[in-house]
Structure 1
Amino acid sequence: MGKTKRAEPESLELAQVGVDSHAHLDLEDFDEDREILLRRAADSGLSQIVNVFLGPDAYEQRKGLFDAHPQVSFLLGVHPNNAEQLTDETLSRMRAHFLADPRLKGVGEIGLDYYWDRVPHDVQKAAFIRQLELARELDKPIIIHSRDANDDTVAILLEQGFKDHPLLWHCFGADMELAETIVSSGWHISIPGPVTFRKKSEEVQAAVARIPLELLMIETDCPYLAPEPWRGKRNHPALVGFTAKRIAEIKGRSLEDIWQITGDNARRFFSL
């Protein structure tokens, strides 16, 4: 028997109103076919993509890849796994870039990562707080990375006075308890592809069912975390439609509604 053919994202026939709220299209994984994938994203219903640059070096070296693609907006932040690289000079460069480039829409992804545990926790926390201060100074939204560190991440955000600040919890993969904390703090939640893994994401699916639609976004986090039916393959923005499809099933709404609502939420949040 031959292999079952996977559905292509274009087959969802989505209107061009969707937003991928978190992508890493600047990475070398896309150097051979970035232009093709950007066209496929548009053909699959995406109007905008938010690309994350992991530090000022990446931004300076690769932002030019998107000069011909105004539908791509930018985030800039030092990831917790690189927290030791955050110096006064790094922060100064980041500040200058935000002031000069209107395509930079938020500070992120920043936060804490205890899963890989590559950087001492106190160093991660210090870098996190300094970037929160930068976001406050610039009056920019914050995009959070938190892995195996949710209690500390929430505690720092609340201690630093970021309740009700525009904040997006990127790549949500936890349970209803964390979702309730995020929602009660006035923050947004972005759902990645693993929500489509029916047997592996029951807690996430239960949380998604109760997250208010007005606080919900969708993302690829590409090239990682491709949704079914492309699980295990390289992720790319066009595939985010399958994530929206699963959320629609969980919410009991039409795919078209979820696509429009999550896109509108992202446009408001990032001022796209």
Structure 2
Amino acid sequence: MSKKNKVRSLPQTVGINVPGVETHAHLDMEDFKEDLPEVMARAKECGIAKIGNIFLGSQIYEANRTLFDAYPEVFFLLGIHPNDADKYTDAEGEAIRAAFKSDSRLKAVGEIGLDFYWDDVSPDVQEKAFRAQLALADELDVPVVIHSRDAHEKTLEVLDDYGWSGKPLLWHCFGSDIATAKRILDNGWYISIPGPITYKKNEEAQEAAKYIPLERMVLETDCPYLSPEPWRGKRNEPAYVVFTAAKVAELKGMDVNELWAACAKNAYDFFRL
């Protein structure tokens, strides 16, 4: 059968029957402009009780937060992504601070960190914005959600230098090895597993998923990006997180609903939902 005619199973067939949490989505992006109500309905059908939506800057937050007025199950994260670090100014920091003080749906500063895969913004500028937002989250007493791509060593160095060990942190979109997972876990932090864990050749991350304790794990899509199998190559959406759950449960040799419920509890605890 050609890829063009590939039959893709629906997320409703995974058999989730307890409430869960999708911790990282970008539902305010243009990709969902035409069918957000349908996307949200499918998420609910698949056992998703809460969804974390990431706003990439205060202006985007102000422009798009009303998209979710009809969806109280959506909680918010707000921060400047490392690829936009040149947009972080004192005024932007003040705007983020004001948003957190006025909106109880905002639960974490993120996604923030370092991205050395792309070279649009210099490492020094990225690090300056990263450190400023760590300080802001510390002041606000909220967790941080970390983006780190091709920059794990420097990210960990900055976090260590700041003294973030033991403070609430979620390592978003984890796809590395056991050694990196251990360093994250040794600091008392959480790890989020995305759709690429389902890819056949992603053996290193699969071994890490087996290693990560269930009590420190949450699940995410990072939609519209990083669709899991069997929807790889198509737009991702919150409902597809159940395929990630099914794969991690298989790797850990446990029931998918048990894993789903445990990851949901972790998300509720971490984000104070």
Tell me, in whole angstroms, the C-alpha distance in 2 between the residues paired with 1:118 and 1:169: 22
Written as runs of structure 1 = structure 2, the 5 A alignment for 1:51-200 is 51-199=53-201
CA contact (8 A) 1:106 1:142 kept: yes
Tell me, in whole angstroms, the C-alpha distance in 2 between the residues paired with 1:9 and 1:251: 20
- Which residue does the alignment assign to 2:266? 265
- Which residue does the alignment assign to 1:208? 209
- Which residue does the alignment assign to 1:250? 251
Deviations 1:32-80 (A, max 9, x none): 0011000100001100000000000110000000001000000000000
Q: Shift of the alpha carbon at 1:16? A: 4.2
CA contact (8 A) 2:18 2:261 kept: no
Consecutive unaligned residues of structure 1, counting only runs of 5 or more, are none
Tell me, in whole angstroms, the C-alpha distance in 2 between the residues paired with 1:126 and 1:248: 39
Deviations 1:121-174 (A, max 9, x none): 111000000000000000000000000000000000011010011100000011
Tell me, in whole angstroms, the C-alpha distance in 2 between the residues paired with 1:144 and 1:121: 16
Tell me, in whole angstroms, the C-alpha distance in 1 between the residues paired with 2:59 and 2:111: 15
- Which residue does the alignment assign to 1:6? 8
CA contact (8 A) 1:76 1:109 kept: yes
What's the secondary structure of 1:186's corresponding residue? Answer: coil
Tell me, in whole angstroms, the C-alpha distance in 1 between the residues paired with 2:15 and 2:209: 24
- Which residue does the alignment assign to 1:239? 240
CA contact (8 A) 1:16 1:47 kept: no
**Letter matched to residue 97 of structure 1:** A
CA contact (8 A) 2:18 2:257 kept: no
**Letter matched to residue 135 of structure 1:** A
- Which residue does the alignment assign to 2:222? 221
User: What RMSD over aligned residues (CA atoms) do the two structures have, in Å?
Assistant: 0.9
- Which residue does the alignment assign to 2:42? 40
What's the secondary structure of 1:183's corresponding residue? Answer: helix
CA contact (8 A) 1:21 1:217 kept: yes
Consecutive unaligned residues of structure 2, counting only runs of 5 or more, are none
Question: Which portions of structure 1, spanning 4 or more consecutive aligned residues, are displaced by more than 6 angstroms?
Answer: none
Give TM-score, length-normalised by structure 2.
0.98
**Letter matched to residue 187 of structure 1:** W
Tell me, in whole angstroms, the C-alpha distance in 1 between the residues paired with 2:6 and 2:90: 53
Q: Shift of the alpha carbon at 1:13? A: 2.7
Tell me, in whole angstroms, the C-alpha distance in 1 between the residues paired with 2:121 and 2:255: 43
**Letter matched to residue 35 of structure 1:** P
Identity of aligned residues (%): 52
Tell me, in whole angstroms, the C-alpha distance in 1 between the residues paired with 2:12 and 2:231: 14
**Letter matched to residue 233 of structure 1:** K
What's the secondary structure of 1:109's corresponding residue? Answer: strand
CA contact (8 A) 1:144 1:168 kept: yes
Q: Shift of the alpha carbon at 1:14? A: 1.2
